[in-house]
Every structure is written in C-alpha cells, then in structure tokens.
C-alpha cells in the first residue's frame, strides 16, 4: 500500500514534529509531494536539491572523504544527507534520497540503485533499493519508498513514547535488518533496511 504524503504530514503534525528534505536523484519530487498538501507549512521547513556531488559536501556536510571513497550513491551518504538537512533546517526529521535513475551507471553502481535515509529523534534509518523499469519509474518509486520509510520512523517514535508527542531532544540507538520487498508491477526488486548503531552527532 502506498503511503501518502498527507498521511505522513498528519502524523508529524500530531507529534508536533517538523520535516526537511535532501534530494539527489529525485530532484525535488519528494518535496513537491509534501508541498502539494494544503497546510504543509505547519510541518515542512524546506528542502535542498543536492544534485551535484560537491553540494552534498558543501551544503549538507557529507564527509568529503566518504564521497571520494564511495561516490555519492552510498547508504552512508544518504544518512549524512538526512542528518545534514535536519541540522541545516532545524527540523525534527530529515529525509534524503540518492541513487542512479539512469540511463547510465554512476560511481560504479548500476541503474536502479537507490539509497534512502531518515534522520530523526530515534537515530538514522537507511534503506537500499534495487529498482527497475526506467528513469521516471525509478524516481517515482523512490519517492514512494521515502514516504514509507519516513512514515515508519514517525510511527516507531510515537509507539516508543507511548503517545502522539514527547521529548524529541535525544537520539536513540539503532538496529539493522534485511528484507525483500515488492511493489506494483515488480518495479522494486529488493530492499535492504538499516537502523545504524551510532546516534546522530
């Protein structure tokens, strides 16, 4: 089932939380989903489209050594992008997208490789996807997966706090898991999720 941006914004609003977005391959599509919802300004603080690799470092604070060693298409890069935009915008949650929409491979990664991350009060969650079907579909599926990842993070936080709101000042530990997922038309082949062990710094 596709998670709608309006549902995520409602959950964030009920938790008294705010959101910022950092995008690479989606190029603003994720932010557009949020701002299309009436009243989004109560939750959505802003976004950065960090399409160029150097912008990921200079604006979002992604480690230059990490980018040099692994390129921009990397789960750690996605995590640092999410943390960076959260910090930059003063938001409770930051969500980030990076990957290869095609038509050519990038940084040694095949077309359809996507990494997503959410940074929030509970730490950083990342998901790695292998998508198929073409550039437009890859970007659209990435937005759908990002909404799902963010929605899950907000729900987990609310459950852990035992209510719709709570203290959002401390970052908790992270766990890891691997799973296989399918979406409509088989466009999403595999997905790997990781809730990293180190808290946000």
Q: Beta strand pairing status for 93-99 and 19-23?
A: parallel
Q: What is the CATH number of the domain that holds 9?
A: 3.90.950.20
Its pTM stands at: 0.83
∠ at Cα 92 (56, 142), nearest 5°?
55
Exposure on the CB side of residue 46, measured as CA atoms within 13 A: 9
29 in any annotated domain: yes
Tokens for 102, please give them. Answer: 């095609």
177 in any annotated domain: yes
Exposure on the CB side of residue 168, measured as CA atoms within 13 A: 22
Domain count, the chain: 1
Domain carrying residue 137: 5-195
43 in any annotated domain: yes
CA 90 to chain centre: 16
The pLDDT value given to residue 2: 62
109: Cβ–Cβ under 8 A, 6 or more apart, which residues? 71, 73, 99, 100
126 in any annotated domain: yes
200 in any annotated domain: no
Q: Which residue has the tokens 């557009």?
A: 32
52 in any annotated domain: yes
The pLDDT value given to residue 133: 84
The pLDDT value given to residue 167: 38
76 in any annotated domain: yes
109 in any annotated domain: yes
| pLDDT tens for each residue of the chain, 201 residues long | 468 999 999 999 999 999 999 999 999 999 999 999 999 999 999 999 999 999 999 999 999 999 999 999 999 999 999 999 999 999 999 999 999 999 999 999 999 999 999 999 999 999 999 999 899 999 999 999 999 999 999 999 887 776 544 333 334 444 333 222 333 333 334 454 444 433 333
């Amino acid at each position: 089932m596709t998670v709608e941006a309006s549902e995520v914004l409602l959950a964030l609003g009920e938790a008294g939380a705010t959101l910022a977005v950092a995008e690479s391959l989606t190029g603003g599509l994720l932010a557009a989903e949020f701002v299309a919802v009436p009243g989004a300004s109560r939750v959505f603080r802003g976004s950065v489209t960090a399409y160029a690799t150097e912008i990921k470092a200079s604006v979002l604070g992604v480690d230059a050594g990490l980018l040099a060693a692994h390129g921009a298409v990397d789960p750690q890069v996605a995590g640092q992008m999410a943390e960076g935009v959260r910090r930059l915008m003063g938001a409770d949650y930051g969500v980030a997208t990076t990957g290869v929409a095609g038509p050519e491979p990038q940084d040694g990664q095949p077309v359809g490789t996507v990494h997503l991350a959410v940074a929030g009060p509970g730490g950083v969650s990342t998901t790695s996807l292998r998508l198929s079907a073409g550039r437009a579909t890859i970007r659209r599926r990435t937005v759908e997966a990002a909404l799902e990842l963010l929605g899950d993070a907000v729900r987990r936080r609310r459950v852990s706090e035992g209510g719709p709101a709570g203290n959002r000042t401390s970052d908790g530990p992270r766990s890891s898991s691997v799973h296989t997922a399918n979406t409509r038309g088989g466009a999403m082949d595999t997905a790997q999720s990781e809730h990293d062990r180190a808290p946000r710094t």
